[in-house]
Amino acid sequence: MTVPEQDAAVSAPQVVSSFLEQRKEQIAQRWADTPLFRSVFTVSRDEAVEACKAVVEALSEVAASGRLEDVGSPGFVPVRDQLGRMTQTRARSGHTASQIANEVAGLRVPVMELLREEFADPTVPRAQEAVLALTLLLGTLRLVVMETALDANAELIERQRQQLLEVATPVIKLWEGTVAVPLIGTLDSARSQVVMESLLEAIVDQRARYAILDITGVPTVDSLVAQHLMKTVAAARLMGAECIVSGIRPAIAQTIVQLGIDLGSVLTRSSLADALAYALGKQGIEVSRAHANESVR
Amino acid sequence: MSQPLPAHSAQVPVLALGDVLLVSLQGELHDGMAEQLQQDITQRISTDRMTGVVIDISGVDMVDSFLGRVLAEIASTARLLAARTVLAGMRPAVAITLVELGLTLPGLVTALDVDRAMELLNQRGS
């Protein structure tokens, strides 16, 4: 009766943990030749082996803690960075998420072979339990890899979104006391907020009397966009600057009228040049040719 | 509700620059102070024959619907007494808040700072 008791004492995850620890070197050697590691660590094979060892150690630790199916298990923390880098490298070389997941699944076969060799008879319940535990563990690894890949992507998207917000809304000083914002692309609430903030800041910084909102690059105007425009105009007026909207294309003008949006309180000019001419004229600035005979030559 | 304050601190100073009244609002304006200010300004316009009022709000962090209404009322009262009112120095954050609240203060003339406001009054006066 002592033998089954011993079996029960050493649970399947523990068996897997000690197996991973003992066979670390062999597993790492085999994994280093799989497409996943080989393509990431192209410089040296030793580096790939080291990376594999780190992953095996992490798996062993997770198995020892008994939380085989817990993606948030602390054992994965040390290798998360490395896995993130690996998935990024794979993604950059044009692999889809599911392809990467398949490659991670490909790591199972070599380990399974080694685990089966551990047992003289692979059909005994103990061996089967160990195989099951290892399968679960590798499944979790797969999830962790996917999770890190998704996290990295989400981070990238957030960063790019932020960059887009900043890049897409420059405030240009056209003349002393005249600033302009050439709006390009669709205006949503977040963007119009940024436009408003940067325009108002520029009005203060440049001591501008005139602010031009050029919407030549805005593809469509709906009631929401019109509302954003009117808010920006009103805010600029509260700051003591006059706001001119320029570059309304014929199709957009028709849409605005059909939607019944009243832009009557907003000063409009057909192009940015006209708006600038208006602002200059209001400030008493005249633009003329430097030499009268220039045109004759 | 507004806390009872000593009489001297409850008043906003109203300065006269030539024929223009200059009021500089700082921090929060209590209900009582706002009413007092409204009375002071109308009184000064009629007795001292002022033609313009500049209200500087560069020291105000927050303009709510109450202060917005007070400012609009001061402007319309001044207009009845033949004086023009210019609101000067609104901060960007305040402008954004007002617009989001739908308070665009349509009847008010605005200027970037006190300097510009004086310029505006002199320009229109001449």
Domain locations along chain B: 14-125
What is the tally of structural domains in chain A?
Answer: 2
| pLDDT digits 0-9 by tens, A143-198 | 888 888 788 788 888 888 887 777 667 899 999 999 999 988 888 888 888 889 99
Residue where a domain terminates, one of A140, A163, A186: A163
Cross-chain Cβ contact A231/B116 below 8 Å: no
A contacts of B94 (beta carbons < 8 Å): 238
In B1-126, the DSSP E strands lie at 14-17, 20-26, 52-59, 84-88, 109-111
Neighbours of A274 (CB within 10 A): 15
Nearest chain A residue to B98, by CA:
A235
In a domain, A205, yes or no: yes
Do A17 and A152 lie in one domain? The reply is yes
Find, among B123, B94, B112, B110, the residue nearest to A177 by Cα: B112
Of chain B, the end-to-end C-alpha distance in Å amounts to 45
- Is B55 within 8 Å of B29 (Cβ atoms)? no
Do A153 and A6 lie in one domain? The reply is yes
Q: What is the CATH number of the domain that holds A140?
A: 1.10.490.10
In a domain, A56, yes or no: yes
In a domain, A296, yes or no: no
| pLDDT digits 0-9 by tens, A73-128 | 788 887 777 777 777 777 777 777 788 888 888 888 888 888 888 887 777 888 88
Do A34 and A179 lie in one domain? The reply is no
**Largest Cα span, chain A:** 116
> Rounded to whole angstroms, how far apart are CA atoms A57 and A52?
9
Chain A positions contacting chain B at CB under 8 Å are 193, 196-197, 200-201, 203-204, 207-209, 231-232, 234-241, 265
State residue A294's pLDDT score: 57
Instruction: Specify the range with the lowest mean pLDDT, choosing from A9-18, A109-118, A238-247, A272-281.
Output: A9-18
| pLDDT digits 0-9 by tens, B89-120 | 999 999 999 998 888 888 889 999 999 999 98
Distance from the Cα of B94 to chain A's closest Cα (Å) equals 9
- Is A90 within 8 Å of A40 (Cβ atoms)? yes
A contacts of B111 (beta carbons < 8 Å): 240
Find, among A189, A203, A192, A146, the residue nearest to A169 by Cα: A192
Q: What is the CATH number of the domain that holds A204?
A: 3.30.750.24
Residue where a domain terminates, one of A107, A137, A163: A163
Q: What is the CB-side half-sphere exposure of residue B3 using CA atoms within 13 A?
A: 4
Do A43 and A135 lie in one domain? The reply is yes
Distance from the Cα of A208 to chain B's closest Cα (Å) equals 8
> Rounded to whole angstroms, how far apart are CA atoms A26 and B103?
73
- Residue of B71, B85, B97, B112 to mutate, interface with A, max A Cβ within 10 Å: B112
Distance from the Cα of B7 to chain A's closest Cα (Å) equals 32
Mean per-residue pLDDT of chain B:
86
Tokens at B99, concatenated: 């617009």
Do A81 and A185 lie in one domain? The reply is no
Do A159 and A235 lie in one domain? The reply is no
Do A271 and A137 lie in one domain? The reply is no
- Is A143 within 8 Å of A72 (Cβ atoms)? no
> Rounded to whole angstroms, how far apart are CA atoms B51 and B86?
11
Neighbours of B72 (CB within 10 A): 17
User: Does domain B14-125 correspond to CATH entry 3.30.750.24?
Assistant: yes
Domain range for A203: 172-282
Neighbours of A295 (CB within 10 A): 7
Do A133 and A202 lie in one domain? The reply is no
ipTM: 0.81
Residue where a domain terminates, one of A105, A137, A163: A163
In a domain, A291, yes or no: no
Eight-class DSSP state of A135: H
